Structure 1
Amino acid sequence: MQSADPARRTRARVDRLLPGITALLTDGVQQREINEAAGRVLRAAGERPAVALLAEAGLDHQVVSHRMWAPLLGDGVAALTPARTTIGYVTAVRLHPVPGDRTTVRKATASFLTGPEILRCRARLLAQIGDLPAGAADAEWTTVLELARHVWDAADSARQAAIDELAGLYRAQIFAGRFLGRDGVPVRLEAVHQATMPVRWSDAAAGRRPFPEIGAAGPYDADQDLGQSVLHRVFPAVRRIVLDVDVPDERWPISEDGLDLIDLPMLDGRLRTGRAEWLIETELAGAGAVVTVEGPQREAERLLDRLRGPSPTVLRGPDNYLVLRDGGALADLRAEICKQGQAACLAARAQRTEAAYEGFRQTVRRVVAALDETPLAAPPMASPQEMAVRDLLGRIGAELSAMTDDVERGIAGPAASLADGITPYAALRQWITTQVYAWPQWPALFSALRHHVLVPGDLPSTPGPLLARFERLVHDLPEACARVIDATVENWLRHWSVRVAPLKSEFFEVIAPLRDGPSDTVAQLRRGVQFGWLTEARPEPAAPPDDQRANGAVRAAFPLDPRRNLPWHQDADDAGGHGRHLMTVMRVRREMVVAAQRLGEERLADALAARVETIRRRLRLQRQAQQQPDAHVRALLGGGPATTGVAPQAAARRIEDLLERADSEEEHQ
């Protein structure tokens, strides 16, 4: 069934067109132009809907948007809110609706600015400094910093703040050299909160300060996660902190496209930070809707008024007082984000995709015009058998492209499930619960109950045995995660096998009988319609963790203090009281389950991401193999050098025919 989403329809149209067009081209430059233009369409169509949160500082100088997480997302998001007020970074919360009523932060990663983005941010800071010679924005860093030094002493507090940021950006881009342009760099959320700088309200009477230090300690090249001290140094080069959060699907009835909540830096007239302003405007350019929380200065309204290009749809949030003091005013905002907000995002995505598609069409027209002007030649005409092979390979390639786009959604995203419909996370939580409930300590305790109270006797009294069981369970988590992921991948492949079944039948009718060529050619192409080989696509085994560090992490997650006796021990403070009640035993068991599930979900998220990337990489390689029709035709049918079998002018007419047919199909859907 064809998707009703215009962006998805446009992406499917390009997927169908691209193999047929590129198969008719022999010029590598023309093929690259077409592929790049198609890539822009596919990227625009694949963007996740994004709703930005734009808030002005509150009366008590708190970052207002931090107070919106709990009312919007529910319990389980306390970690999203820093313990102190910070500014200057963007948090992208990627919502993943799952069954249940629990909100869980799955993982945190950092995305870094690219080199060109750092230069654009630098240009914003130079504009804030002002009074610099023409061409300063294009000068080398050493020249830029020297110019800033010359204006430092005469600069007011706002201009000095911009120079401070300029020096910080310079130091960060050197120290973070190996991270620039990278996405998905693992970080710990608490390290992010501690690494960011707290708000320092500008004070015009603060006195003169020395020019900021510009010595850079770098580049940083250690191969490890970013800790607090490293994050503190590279933070000006951070583009986003991205959080994957599982939310209850009943509270967040959003479509399979998902939804991102983009928490933007705080607005306040006393905080002139050029880098933050550049980040805000850049994020708003990609957001389909924005929730504004206005303050007395109406900063959000003024900022939106001066945006270039299409403005996002505005959803009015509650005023500062209600957010800071109550939070109850956000009860209905979630529903508005899910309906009007996501609808606006999808409409904006469709507009950007259509604009990219029009660019794709213009590129194709330029190529057609170039083909028309090519001197006539007399290439041999392709046989009907060759054309059938080329057409089939093109359609299989289009399905592989769609399959590659679907990997994350179908294995680690909202559509991921095992054969019985349960999600991977729910399956792992069930397994963990079963394992914990099977520990022998619980039957011993329950058998000692009399009228719901433990009778003194030979009972487990110290956490040691429970800790040993907990450690054994954590040791078994990688294998359990692998089983869950294997079942998820098999279910996903089963779905795609059904979808490509007609192409598989056609493959065995058209290509499999062509045994003139090497058998390995047929075997390689058969992988495009038979996916059993993907079940063996697993990432390289990770290096074993340091035992001491791993044991420390497990013990830190263990919910009981190993040095203290259990609540029902005869020497416990409440011995004979509540500590011996059935509810205490059940509470301890539940804490074991929750702690183990939290560790399991973290490991499952990492394992899913690794498996998705491995399968996506294998599919891309297979798709690249499918998109070499000349070589395959020669191997299967024999013949001379690669040729499309048609004259350039005939290729131009066929490309025009492909476009017209695609337009006609779109009109009739």
Structure 2
Amino acid sequence: MSSQSADPARRIVARLDRLLPAITGLLTDGGHQRRVTEAAGRVLTTATSRPAVALLAESGGDDRLVSHHVWAPLLGDGAAGLTPARTTIGYVTTVRLNPVAAERAAIRGASVSFLTHAHVLECRTRLLGQVGDSPAGDAADVDWPAALELARSWWSGADSARQAGIAELAALYRAQIFAERFLGRDGVRIRLDAVHHATMPVRWGGASGGRLPFPDTGGAGPYEADQDLGQNVLHRVLPVVRRVVVDVDVPQERWPIGEDGLDLIDLPLLDPRLRTGRADWLIEAELATAGAVVTIDGSQREAEKLLVQLRTPTPLTLPGPDSYLVLRDGSALAGMRADICERGQAACLTERGRRTGAAYDEFRRTVRRVVVALDESPLAAAPPPAPAEMRVRDLLARIGAELSAMTADVERGIAGPADGHDGGATPYAALRQWVTAQIYAWPQWPVLFSALRNHVLAPGTRYADEMPATPEVFEMRFRALARDIPEACARVIDAAVDGWLRRWAVRLSLLRTEFFEMVVPLRDSTDKTVGQLRRGVQINWIADLPRPEPVAPAATAVRAAFPLDPARHLPWHPAAGRAGGNGRHLMTIMRVRRELVVAAQRIAEEQLATALTARIEAVRRELRMQQQVHQRADTHVRALFGDEPGGPVISPQAVARRIEDLLDRADAEDER
């Protein structure tokens, strides 16, 4: 019997390889093609998945091993690096076995796969349900700020177990921030020793005395997508790592697992003191992909109970009343390896065939739904456009939607109170800081502060002759500052626009990639249509728009805003007539300086409001024009694809009949 006939998954793939090209060749609607192709892709992914046997261990106490300590005795001395120097928990290790003609095992490399955004939210929901008082269904509707606020309210009254769950919730939040650009990625290369050192050791026993502070939820991420995943980075992002994958060459004489290979999946440890919502989710998710599972039970038989609860694949329980004692006997591991190679791999292939069959059934249902949709199409329907044309239309529509969002966001995004640049300051806050710094730098203040004795200006001091007596010197500097305000406004607005553009450039990055892959190759790079459309995804031209010329505030307005009376002496001058020396006190100097700052800031804010309004209107006007360009999809499609007539048109109903015939013939072949 051939290997293909013995493996139901391979038979299904062979059937799909014959059926899929014929079906997609008949479909001209891009949406129908995409649905059928995606369903077929799920079949192929399931059918080609590697056989996987999971290792599920229950804690046996302070002096017991955990499951990853079986690697060295199970695989041989060449795989000793799989075992960390200290006992660790909290992550999944997938050991990918590749049989080779060698005498000892060897580690080839390691990589990590990250949780997706959806996975992170599922783990968050589990954690909230574990440490909170509300059902998990209610926790699913809570966003991150609300989740952290709830956790903070529970913290003071939580016992050590709930506090551990809250601490993991905070760690999950921080890790998501740091790993934002890694989420959903597979095969990110790492050094295995970096993983071992990045994890935290198991700490058995109760918490130390005293009330712990609420965990830190700050994070300065995200890391760049090309960041080297060293020990320090891995330590921060480990809560959102789904699995660590290690490729290991093993002697094929000891591991007769065939060309499919085999994955051994080490799951997080089962222990009531260490159970978390995230670990539970990882265990259930990985067990759902495994074809068999080796249980390493302790006295409470937690692994056995969990398998019964989840109805997971074939269990391969180690013999004996205490699995940990069996693991210490090296001869028992030889039997364990044989059981994995024979019963475990057979169970994996059977389970893979079952899942592939289920995926193929869903593929057929998808095709049947497409057939129904074709039958319900209008009889006189116009011939659908080519798939490439539909993809370009869809892309232009999505770019137009983003330009519409930018147009609506421009005023809020550039001038809104939440918009920040240069460390988080809004345009108004940045300008106020600049004004304050300018006034604080005037040389009169050091003279006055140096003449203070016990917070009072003392007559006859070293700097007494240099102290300003009238507001004239302050008024002169106030006018000079007012002349510099327009240029300062321009710098602040430029910084705000640059920050706003950077955020939108990141948001448009995927559309920009699609544009250069899909539209640019259709025409020469100098083509007028391509150039017009490119401006919708390359928005750096906004920074080069003409800027309104800065206009200095009117001299009369500056004089009116100056807060000091030019005809009177300053409060600390003897001629000012202040009783008791109050005018010479430090607080009087501070008050005068503050009045000058507030007056100058008021002028600056009025100037900024005028300049910002003009800049916003210029940007918004250009964005509207670019949005209108993308709305002329018919014109652009004709310019990109031309007006050549298509081939002979087949009605949707005729296509539906042909697809049904293909399905019927495939069924007849399966019955033979």
Partner of 2:218 in structure 1?
215
Match of 1:665 among 643, 655, 669: 669
Instruction: Count the aligned residue pairs.
Output: 410
Shift of 1:335: 1.2
The 5 A counterparts of 1:237-248 are 237-248=240-251
Which residue identity lines up with residue 186 of structure 1 in the other structure?
R
Report if the CA contact (8 A) 2:78-2:104 is conserved: yes
TM-score normalised over the length of structure 2: 0.58
Match of 2:72 among 49, 70, 73: 70
Q: Name the CA shift for 1:340/1:35 in 2 (closer, same or farther; >3 Å).
A: same
| Cα RMSD after superposing both structures | 2.3
The 5 A counterparts of 1:556-595 are none
Shift of 1:377: 4.4
Report if the CA contact (8 A) 1:50-1:262 is conserved: yes
- C-alpha distance in 2, partners of 1:290/1:58? 19
- C-alpha distance in 1, partners of 2:36/2:359? 12
Partner of 1:114 in structure 2?
116
Report if the CA contact (8 A) 1:58-1:320 is conserved: no
Report if the CA contact (8 A) 2:129-2:139 is conserved: no
Shift of 1:324: 5.0
- C-alpha distance in 2, partners of 1:317/1:326? 12
Q: Which runs of 5+ in 2 are unaligned?
A: 384-640
1:146 matches 2:157:
no
Q: Name the CA shift for 1:202/1:120 in 2 (closer, same or farther; >3 Å).
A: farther
Which residue identity lines up with residue 252 of structure 1 in the other structure?
W
SS of residue in 1 equivalent to 2:140: helix
Partner of 1:300 in structure 2?
303
Which residue identity lines up with residue 318 of structure 2 in the other structure?
G
Mean Cα deviation higher: 118-127 or 263-272 = 263-272
Partner of 2:173 in structure 1?
170
Q: Name the CA shift for 1:211/1:366 in 2 (closer, same or farther; >3 Å).
A: same
SS of residue in 2 equivalent to 1:52: strand
1:138-190 Cα offsets, whole Å, 9 max, x none, are: 22211110111001111111111110000000000000111111111111111
1:232 matches 2:235:
yes
Partner of 1:81 in structure 2?
83
SS of residue in 1 equivalent to 2:316: strand
1:352 matches 2:361:
no
- C-alpha distance in 2, partners of 1:303/1:644? 60
Shift of 1:47: 1.1
- C-alpha distance in 2, partners of 1:175/1:70? 33
Mean Cα deviation higher: 250-259 or 159-168 = 250-259
Partner of 1:18 in structure 2?
20
1:204-223 Cα offsets, whole Å, 9 max, x none, are: 67442111111113111273
Mean Cα deviation higher: 334-343 or 132-141 = 132-141
Partner of 1:129 in structure 2?
131
Match of 1:278 among 264, 269, 281: 281
Report if the CA contact (8 A) 2:296-2:324 is conserved: no
- C-alpha distance in 1, partners of 2:134/2:312? 31
Report if the CA contact (8 A) 1:64-1:324 is conserved: no
1:55-102 Cα offsets, whole Å, 9 max, x none, are: 112343444212311232122011000100100010000010011212
SS of residue in 2 equivalent to 1:76: helix
Q: Name the CA shift for 1:56/1:31 in 2 (closer, same or farther; >3 Å).
A: same
- C-alpha distance in 2, partners of 1:338/1:68? 16
SS of residue in 2 equivalent to 1:331: helix
Q: Name the CA shift for 1:371/1:379 in 2 (closer, same or farther; >3 Å).
A: same
SS of residue in 2 equivalent to 1:11: helix
Which residue identity lines up with residue 190 of structure 1 in the other structure?
D
1:364 matches 2:367:
yes
Q: Name the CA shift for 1:378/1:121 in 2 (closer, same or farther; >3 Å).
A: closer
Which residue identity lines up with residue 144 of structure 1 in the other structure?
A
SS of residue in 2 equivalent to 1:208: coil
1:373 matches 2:376:
yes
The 5 A counterparts of 1:309-388 are 310-318=311-319, 319-323=322-326, 325-377=328-380
- C-alpha distance in 1, partners of 2:327/2:374? 64
- C-alpha distance in 1, partners of 2:285/2:366? 27
Report if the CA contact (8 A) 2:9-2:47 is conserved: yes
Mean Cα deviation higher: 167-176 or 67-76 = 67-76
1:531-588 Cα offsets, whole Å, 9 max, x none, are: xxxxxxxxxxxxxxxxxxxxxxxxxxxxxxxxxxxxxxxxxxxxxxxxxxxxxxxxxx
- C-alpha distance in 1, partners of 2:278/2:48? 27
Q: Name the CA shift for 1:71/1:644 in 2 (closer, same or farther; >3 Å).
A: farther
SS of residue in 1 equivalent to 2:300: coil
Report if the CA contact (8 A) 1:129-1:159 is conserved: yes
1:462-489 Cα offsets, whole Å, 9 max, x none, are: xxxxxxxxxxxxxxxxxxxxxxxxxxxx
TM-score normalised over the length of structure 1: 0.59
The 5 A counterparts of 1:478-493 are none
Shift of 1:279: 0.7
- C-alpha distance in 2, partners of 1:142/1:90? 28
Task: Look at both structures and tell me which one has the larger radius of gyration over its CA atoms.
Answer: 2
Partner of 2:204 in structure 1?
201
Q: Which runs of 5+ in 1 are unaligned?
A: 381-634
Match of 1:647 among 645, 651, 656: 651
Shift of 1:19: 1.1
SS of residue in 2 equivalent to 1:210: coil
**Could you tell me the percent identity over the aligned residues?**
69
1:362-398 Cα offsets, whole Å, 9 max, x none, are: 1111111122222334999xxxxxxxxxxxxxxxxxx
SS of residue in 1 equivalent to 2:77: coil
- C-alpha distance in 1, partners of 2:142/2:237? 23
Q: Name the CA shift for 1:174/1:205 in 2 (closer, same or farther; >3 Å).
A: closer
Partner of 2:570 in structure 1?
none
Report if the CA contact (8 A) 2:112-2:244 is conserved: yes
- C-alpha distance in 1, partners of 2:167/2:180? 20
Report if the CA contact (8 A) 2:5-2:11 is conserved: yes
- C-alpha distance in 2, partners of 1:376/1:349? 43
SS of residue in 1 equivalent to 2:181: helix
Q: Name the CA shift for 1:378/1:280 in 2 (closer, same or farther; >3 Å).
A: closer
Q: Name the CA shift for 1:352/1:206 in 2 (closer, same or farther; >3 Å).
A: farther
- C-alpha distance in 2, partners of 1:644/1:665? 31
Shift of 1:43: 1.1
Q: Name the CA shift for 1:80/1:256 in 2 (closer, same or farther; >3 Å).
A: same
Report if the CA contact (8 A) 1:26-1:644 is conserved: no
Which residue identity lines up with residue 312 of structure 1 in the other structure?
P
Match of 1:251 among 236, 250, 254: 254
